[in-house]
Chains A and B, each alone.
Chain A
Amino acid sequence: MSKTIEPNPTEVTKSDAMLELNSLKKSFGQTVAVDNISLSIGKGEVLGFLGPNAAGKSTTIRMIAGVLSPDSGDAVINGHSIVTDRQTAQRQLGYLPEGAPLYNEMTPPGFLRFLASARGLDTAKREAAVERVIADARIGSVSNKRIGELSKGFRRRVGLAGAILTDPPVLLLDEPTDGLDPNQKRAVRALIARMAPEKAILITTHTLEEVPAMCSRVVVIDGGRIVADDTPETLAENAGGLEAAFSELTLAAEKPTA
């Protein structure tokens, strides 16, 4: 199967895009990690951002989050450029980084208060937001424990609570269900589905069976380039399953050239 870039099935026009990537490019030395990626995500869309290891997923997400600067191109978040108006753009998004790095010596509410203050919430709004996300992420039972004492699943949920704390219009979730048990995964999927109508959400995952349950659209990248952009159903139909589609799209890059 040849690699083709499918037209965006949801037909998000630039005007209603809440997250817009314009020719985003990033290299580390001689290695091109992200090569000219452009896409738009509109309100109500949950985009599954898939790709093999080292495909450029995390680099792309880090550039959108303002953690890495793109070599060229731009990410526009709810109308604000991450290149020219970084702090305002960062206020428009919630970010769950890969591995959910957290401050181990803090309690979950303390950590969330820190994030809320750093994101500019005043005291009254801060306390309300912290209470809301503790309930949403179901971490109330571990409120008095230090984050360093929590299981991987709870740490992930604390990270997720941090991402949705300010109820931002755009969410970037890097492996949001990693390390969660089936019940917790279901709860996170339900939370994402509940938030989806009002937001643009970009999710990376290695668990392909979760994609149809969470995502309305799938973008597959490989070697830093988009190799497919379609609905999960169409991708699965064309290749006889999502896993087969993923393999066909990404394994071709690993074959040695003649």
Chain B
Amino acid sequence: MSTAQDIWQSSTSSFLGFRAVYVREVQTYIRTPMAYVFLAVFLLSLGVLTWEAGGFFETNRADLAPFFVWHPWLYTVFLPALAMRLWADEQTNGTDELLLSLPVGLGGLVLGKLLAAWTITGFALILTIPMWLTVNFLGSPAAVELSWMNPGSLFKWLGANVFGGADNVAIFVTYLMSFLMAGAYLSIGLALSAIARNQVTAFIMSVFVAFILTAAGWPVVLSGVTDSFGVDAADSVARLSFLSHFEAAQRGVLEWRSVIYFTGFIGLSCMLCGLWVARLRE
């Protein structure tokens, strides 16, 4: 067999292995109450915080700022809960031995697991789209009457009320960055799940690390750092914080440095996770 054929066969096989791990993890979330409890509690919490604490109606603005502002804080608690089982469960049940005996590279195992948890998070974000529709409706209550006799009126109504009332490009950008940031939170949980070998320990460690990385960009913390160590130190701390990197996105601004930061963070966490899983072979 030629080298090219070898490489092709090996790549195809690796992809099939990665896909198998991904599908199995998604199915595990779906077949157990975990995904449903996560979705229900996450959406309920987000709704309550947006409507009540965020004062959604009081702002009188057709934007989702009171909604997105809670994302980092909710991710700090909910996404470690979603990721804590990814490796800890394997080690508790002894199935890590089964996984490591499969002809799947560590990259395939790590990415398959991360993407499965990320898919569930993405689905949770998709379920918040009615919020997006709401700001469009509230922001542009155009006088187009719906009529069952005239199907075209539905399209006119959608155009006026759904796609025309808010800065939808800005909202879309914020959704994208929120999804990317979710990947960073999940990657913390994934890596610490491999290191902790126990779900509860993994959860506590992940919440702690996620909280540090979130709170580091909190104005209260930054002003404290400024007072104690100066502006430069505060800038450095802010540059490490998820909150700071999500701030521009909340205004609808796509900052490439934040995209690179979150992507790089995910990559580093996955590498740490892969290295730790490789240690199981030692």
Q: How far is the CB of B10 from chain A (nearest CB, A)?
A: 7
Q: Which residues of B contact A101 (CB under 8 A)?
A: 93-95, 97-98
- Quick one: which of A98-124 are within 8 Å of B by CB? 99, 101-106, 110, 114-115, 117-122
Q: Which residues of A contact B94 (CB under 8 A)?
A: 97, 99, 101
B16→A117 contact, CB < 8 A: yes
Q: Can you name the residue of chain B whose Cβ is closest to the Cβ of A115?
A: B102
Query: Which residue in A88, A104, A105 is a CB contact (below 8 Å) of B103?
Result: A88
A97→B97 contact, CB < 8 A: yes
Q: Does A62 contact B (CB under 8 A)?
A: yes
Known: A114-B20, A117-B23, A120-B12. A90 touches B31 (CB 8 A): no
Q: Does B100 contact A (CB under 8 A)?
A: yes
When each residue 51-86 of chain A gets 1 if its CB lies under 8 Å from chain B and 0 otherwise, what string results? 000000000001001111100000000000000001
When each residue 218-262 of chain B gets 1 if its CB lies under 8 Å from chain A and 0 otherwise, what string results? 000000000000000000000000000000000000000000000
Q: Which residues of B contact A110 (CB under 8 A)?
A: 27
Q: Does A154 contact B (CB under 8 A)?
A: no
Q: Does A91 contact B (CB under 8 A)?
A: yes
Q: Does A49 contact B (CB under 8 A)?
A: no
Q: Does B60 contact A (CB under 8 A)?
A: no
A87→B10 contact, CB < 8 A: yes
CA distance A102 to B90 in the complex (A): 10
Interface residues on B, range: 20 to 34
Q: How far is the CB of B281 from chain A (nearest CB, A)?
A: 5
Q: Does B17 contact A (CB under 8 A)?
A: yes
B100→A118 contact, CB < 8 A: no
Q: Which residues of A contact B93 (CB under 8 A)?
A: 101, 103-104
Q: How far is the CB of A215 from chain B (nearest CB, A)?
A: 22
Q: Does B55 contact A (CB under 8 A)?
A: no
Q: Which residues of B contact A246 (CB under 8 A)?
A: none
Q: Does B156 contact A (CB under 8 A)?
A: no
Q: Can you name the residue of chain A whose Cβ is closest to the Cβ of B104?
A: A118
CA distance A253 to B191 in the complex (A): 43
* Chain B interface, >50% SS class: helix
* Chain A interface, >50% SS class: loop
CA distance A119 to B108 in the complex (A): 12
A103→B281 contact, CB < 8 A: no
A117→B19 contact, CB < 8 A: yes
CA distance A91 to B23 in the complex (A): 20
- Quick one: which of A155-181 are within 8 Å of B by CB? none
A114→B97 contact, CB < 8 A: no
Query: Which residue in B10, B28, B32, B102 is a CB contact (below 8 Å) of A119?
Result: B102
Q: Does B150 contact A (CB under 8 A)?
A: no
Q: How far is the CB of A74 from chain B (nearest CB, A)?
A: 15
B16→A87 contact, CB < 8 A: no
Q: Does B101 contact A (CB under 8 A)?
A: yes
Q: Which residues of B contact A62 (CB under 8 A)?
A: 97
A118→B97 contact, CB < 8 A: no
B10→A67 contact, CB < 8 A: no
A69→B282 contact, CB < 8 A: yes
Q: How far is the CB of B236 from chain A (nearest CB, A)?
A: 39
Q: Which residues of B contact A86 (CB under 8 A)?
A: 103
Q: How far is the CB of B7 from chain A (nearest CB, A)?
A: 12
A105→B31 contact, CB < 8 A: yes
Interface centre among A67, A68, A86, A102 (most CB of B within 10 A): A67
Q: How far is the CB of B66 from chain A (nearest CB, A)?
A: 38
Q: Which residues of A contact B32 (CB under 8 A)?
A: 105
Q: Does B21 contact A (CB under 8 A)?
A: yes
Query: Which residue in B13, B19, B27, B97 is a CB contact (below 8 Å) of A91?
Result: B13
Query: Which residue in A88, A102, A120 is a CB contact (below 8 Å) of B95?
Result: A102
Query: Which residue in B103, B105, B282 is a CB contact (below 8 Å) of A120?
Result: B103
Q: Does B61 contact A (CB under 8 A)?
A: no
CA distance A88 to B28 in the complex (A): 28
B13→A66 contact, CB < 8 A: no
When each residue 84-96 of chain B gets 1 if its CB lies under 8 Å from chain A and 0 otherwise, what string results? 0000000001110
Q: How far is the CB of B115 from chain A (nearest CB, A)?
A: 15
Q: How far is the CB of B154 from chain A (nearest CB, A)?
A: 40
- A interface residues (Cβ-Cβ under 8 A, vs B): 62, 65-69, 86-88, 90-91, 95, 97, 99, 101-106, 110, 114-115, 117-122
Beyond the given pairs A65-B100, A88-B10, A122-B16, 12 more chain A to chain B contacts, judged by CB atoms under 8 angstroms and listed by A's residue number, are A67-B100, A67-B281, A87-B105, A90-B102, A91-B13, A97-B101, A102-B98, A114-B20, A117-B19, A117-B23, A118-B103, A119-B17
Listed A/B pairs (29) with beta-carbon separation below 8 Å = A62-B97, A65-B100, A65-B101, A67-B101, A67-B281, A69-B282, A86-B103, A87-B13, A87-B104, A87-B105, A90-B101, A91-B13, A91-B103, A101-B94, A101-B95, A102-B95, A102-B98, A103-B93, A106-B24, A106-B31, A114-B20, A114-B23, A117-B17, A117-B23, A118-B21, A118-B102, A118-B104, A119-B103, A122-B16
